[in-house]
Structure 1
Amino acid sequence: MAELSILLLCACLAVLAMPIYLLSFLGIWEHFCEKFFFPYILEKICETHDRKSKPHKQELFRNLPNFTGASGELRLLEIGTGLGANFQFYPAGCKVTCTDVNLNFQRGLLRNMGKNQHLHYEHFLVAAGEDLHQVPSSSLDAVICTFVLCTVRSVDETLKEVLRVLRPGGAFYFLEHVAADPSSWKYFWQQVCFPTWKLIFCGCCLTREIWKNLEQAKFSELKLKHISIALPWTPIQPHIVGYAVK
């Protein structure tokens, strides 16, 4: 009965999203989504999500200065910088390298750079999390990744790159939405929404158990908590937050 319900709900969502599926079939949607729709909708969603996640981010990034390198400077890289929503939480004077695969966030990114002039912006790299070859090995004190591991092609390959670019003793900070408990209604809705959600939000995967990838990666220490961020009418309420030390 449950399987039948999922199929019926998936069918209903597919019908509602038929124009998007048609545009995708014609090869039009992906370009439109990346250039126009996703930057616009992300900025609107971020207003709510940033407000809900702010206390968690404040707590998460509180100990960032503890990972300042021997030079006395904190060098950090953010994977999937997007609109720069995290800049406000970084300590004054730290040197930031921004990376993203989508150049169409530029207007919002520049606006947030202007609001956060307590930081030194070193580079902007067009790069995916799985391929940070432009960044030297063991060159960073911290790597930041929030709401990005849901869209990377490979979580494991991304974490390998994180470990490569971090210096020994450096830290990887994360805040990600994840799969709900498989026995819960939340997981049921994630399964129902998944095909359409992934298409609309440029590959965002609702059912990744990212905490397992982190546990299996070769970090020397892992601080991880499961939390819930209340986002009504969305299937992305279960989250993980924490940091891992190389």
Structure 2
Amino acid sequence: MLLVLLLQRCLQLLLLPIHALACLGLWDSFYKKVFPYVMAKVAPAYNQKVYSQKQELFSSLRRFAGPSGQLRLLEIGTGTGTNFQFYPAGCRLTCTDPNPNFRMFLLRNLSENQHLRLERLVVASGEDLHQVADGSMDVVVCTLVLCSVSSIRRVLEEVLRVLRQVCDPFWKYFGDGCCLSRETEEELEKTNFSELNLRHFHVPPCWIPTSPHIIGYAVK
């Protein structure tokens, strides 16, 4: 018991400089720049150790693709992009991380995995993904992330919010082909209309799958 207390005291003494920097608000800004370099070195070795587990887990991703056949995948806390090699070809990625200093390493990893398509790279915490639309993702991935977030509950609430409606296949059959996850607004924006005026609204009750609507007009 005495030895344990002694070790604790020694550790506290060693951590005093870091505590001082943290109190001054300097530690976070410093380590946010260093941490990506650390992970760039550590992550490949870690991936080798869990390669078979990740390969098995991500091998089923393709079956979650939306009606268009494309898989829209959101990764929370993407870091250096060590999971990219496990994602299926043509996967449309939205990558988020609260640390902008990961960008260089992520893009480098992406260049080595050209079977993927990066749609968006968002600097955001898992607790606040407001830049990702409701029901816009087929799959959400987070590895080695939930241990460091400030609120697991809020992260999981965001995961539920951004995931595509699970009743989409059912609705397609019984709604005369209606596809709940179709990105109508995105397709309109891709078309070369000279003017596009759209707004969002909900038809009550808001909990039903067909509640979200867009209304507006397009000019040739």
- Alpha-carbon separation, structure 1, partners of 2:73 and 2:41: 27
**Alpha-carbon distance, 1:12 to partner:** 2.0
Of 59, 62, 73, 1:62 maps to: 59
The percent of aligned pairs where both chains have the same amino acid is 56
Matched, 1:150 2:147: yes
Query: How many residues are aligned here?
Result: 167
SS in 2 for 1:121: strand
Q: Once the two structures are superposed, what CA deviation does each residue of 1:104-149 show, in whole Å capped at 9, x if it has no partner?
A: 0122111101001101110011111111111111111000000011
TM-score normalised according to structure 2 size = 0.71
Of 129, 135, 140, 1:138 maps to: 135
Matched, 1:76 2:70: no
- Alpha-carbon separation, structure 2, partners of 1:48 and 1:18: 31
- Alpha-carbon separation, structure 1, partners of 2:57 and 2:148: 22
User: Contact 2:44/2:82 (CA < 8 Å) preserved in 1?
Assistant: no
Q: Once the two structures are superposed, what CA deviation does each residue of 1:46-95 show, in whole Å capped at 9, x if it has no partner?
A: 13212112111111101001101111111010001110100000000010
SS in 1 for 2:59: helix
1:108-127 maps to which residues of 2 (within 5 A)?
A: 108-127=105-124
**Structure-2 residue corresponding to 1:16:** 14
TM-score normalised according to structure 1 size = 0.64
Matched, 1:43 2:40: yes
Question: Going by fraction, where is strand more abundant, 1 or 2?
Answer: 1
1:1-246 maps to which residues of 2 (within 5 A)?
A: 1=1, 6-35=4-33, 37-169=34-166
SS in 2 for 1:140: coil
**Alpha-carbon distance, 1:154 to partner:** 0.3
SS in 2 for 1:146: coil
Give the unaligned 5+ runs of structure 1: 171-246
Considering only aligned residues, what root-mean-square deviation do their CA atoms show, in Å? 1.7
Question: Given the superposition, is the C-alpha separation of residues 10 and 168 from structure 1 closer, same or farther in structure 2, using an over 3 Å criterion?
Answer: farther
